[in-house]
């Protein structure tokens, strides 16, 4: 059992202070604009008493049976994750790699061609980040803040950064230049959804088949961490506030600062059921950010490009996102082709 669960407190004021520190010192990370502050409140030894006190109504009660996910080991798929360097505390690098591969397996049923390149993971005392710019051998570079045997934090952080890689985050980025990406907030939202999904899905998987006996109890930790996050007050859409209104009120601020976690995590919660119902929807990330105009386009055009770049089997997800945001008119309804109508029968 991790230290996070051992540090239970009954003082709700202390809990709120641990999760929401009043002062957060933001550090600039090369190649990424204004790193998220949320890692600080996640990276501490979070007390999980909240999980047993409050849960979102949307997630209360019993769950429907999980959809069947195609079996497949990320190692067998060819994914190469290398944990390097120090700073990991008493956690073994091989154990960290096991957890990171398990996270990847929850998000991928097949290996995208781009991930023929390895992913090199190192520790950082700063925020987790997927660096723009490949390494000298063409590798993706991810830095995680988690350390020790806080496996729930490794899962949460790596799922987010892997989502960036899957979403073509480095497409059309000029090396050495800090990119302007007005729709990055939507990608950040999707990647927060990936973190939530990974925690929930991995907990479900490890309840039945942990990767090794020492992880037998970790499913409970993953589940409790998920429950804490999903129930956070700022993630809930205000009562009687349609999401379209929320988007109207917040999009401009998010376009100029994609790391407004108190805002984009509202949408992350609402996107989660789209992936819970069909984990294959994560494959659609591979068709995001492919248009050179995506960095500066409107959200409507950005999502339209995503829809048209995706193959037919993945367009249903984009349509669901558009419908959720009341932007369903972005994709015109299919035209009715009279030439295919069989008029040979008579009344």
Looking at residues 131-137, what average pLDDT do you find?
A: 90
* Both structure tokens of 197: 């999904």
* Both structure tokens of 155: 């899962």
pLDDT level of residue 173 (50, 70, 90 thresholds): confident
How is domain 1-60+70-330 classified at the architecture level of CATH?
Orthogonal Bundle (1.10)
pLDDT level of residue 142 (50, 70, 90 thresholds): very high
The percent of residues above 70 in pLDDT, for the chain, comes to 73
Which pLDDT value is given to residue 216?
Answer: 86
Q: What is the mean pLDDT of the chain?
A: 80
Domain ranges of the chain: 1-60+70-330
Alpha helices by DSSP H, the chain: 3-6, 12-19, 38-43, 49-53, 74-77, 93-107, 151-166, 184-208, 218-230, 243-256, 261-276, 299-309, 315-324
Which pLDDT value is given to residue 177?
Answer: 64
pLDDT tens digits, residue range 195-220?
A: 999 999 999 999 999 998 888 899 99
pLDDT tens digits, residue range 46-59?
A: 444 333 333 343 44
Q: Which of 252-256, 270-274, 327-331 shows the lowest mean pLDDT across its residues?
A: 327-331
Kindly tell me the number of DSSP H helices and DSSP E strands found in the chain: 13, 4
Chain-centre distance of CA 319, in angstroms? 19
- Model confidence at 45: pLDDT above 90: no
> Hey, CA dihedral for 237, 238, 242, 245, is it positive or negative?
negative
Which pLDDT value is given to residue 76?
Answer: 65
**Do 100 and 84 touch, CB atoms closer than 8 A?**
no
Distance between the two ends of the chain, CA-based, in angstroms?
Answer: 73
pLDDT tens digits, residue range 6-39?
A: 332 232 333 233 333 332 333 333 334 444 444 4
pLDDT tens digits, residue range 70-99?
A: 445 667 678 999 999 999 999 999 999 999
Which pLDDT value is given to residue 51?
Answer: 38
pLDDT level of residue 335 (50, 70, 90 thresholds): low
């Amino acid at each position: 059992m991790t230290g996070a669960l051992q540090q239970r407190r009954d003082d709700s004021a202390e809990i709120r202070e641990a999760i929401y520190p009043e002062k957060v010192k933001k550090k600039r990370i090369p190649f990424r604009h204004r790193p998220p502050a949320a890692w600080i409140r996640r990276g501490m030894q979070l007390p999980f008493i909240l999980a047993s006190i409050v849960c979102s109504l949307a997630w209360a009660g019993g769950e429907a049976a999980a959809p069947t996910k195609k079996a497949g080991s990320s190692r067998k798929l060819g994914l190469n994750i290398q944990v390097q360097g120090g700073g990991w505390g008493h956690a073994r690098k091989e154990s960290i790699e096991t957890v990171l591969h398990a996270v990847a397996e929850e998000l991928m049923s097949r290996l995208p061609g781009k991930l023929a390149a390895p992913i090199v993971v190192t520790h950082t005392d700063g925020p987790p980040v997927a660096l723009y710019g490949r390494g000298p051998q063409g590798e993706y570079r991810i830095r995680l803040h988690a350390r020790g045997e806080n496996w729930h934090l490794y899962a949460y952080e790596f799922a987010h950064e892997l989502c960036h890689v899957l979403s073509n985050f480095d497409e059309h980025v000029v090396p050495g230049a800090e990119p302007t990406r007005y729709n990055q907030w939507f990608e950040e939202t999707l990647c927060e959804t990936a973190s939530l999904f990974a925690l929930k899905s991995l907990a479900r998987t490890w309840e039945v088949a942990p990767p090794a006996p020492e992880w037998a109890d970790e499913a409970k930790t993953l589940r409790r961490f998920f429950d804490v996050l999903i129930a956070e007050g700022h993630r809930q859409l205000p009562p009687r506030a349609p999401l379209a209104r929320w988007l109207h009120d917040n999009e401009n601020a998010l376009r100029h600062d994609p790391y407004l976690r108190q805002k984009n995590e509202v949408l992350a919660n609402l996107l989660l059921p789209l992936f819970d119902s069909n984990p294959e929807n994560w494959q659609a990330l591979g068709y995001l950010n492919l248009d050179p105009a995506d960095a500066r386009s409107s959200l409507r055009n950005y999502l339209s490009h995503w829809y048209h770049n995706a193959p037919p089997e993945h367009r249903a997800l984009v349509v669901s996102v558009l419908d959720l945001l009341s932007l369903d008119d972005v994709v015109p309804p299919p035209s009715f082709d009279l030439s295919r109508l069989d008029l040979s029968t008579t009344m």
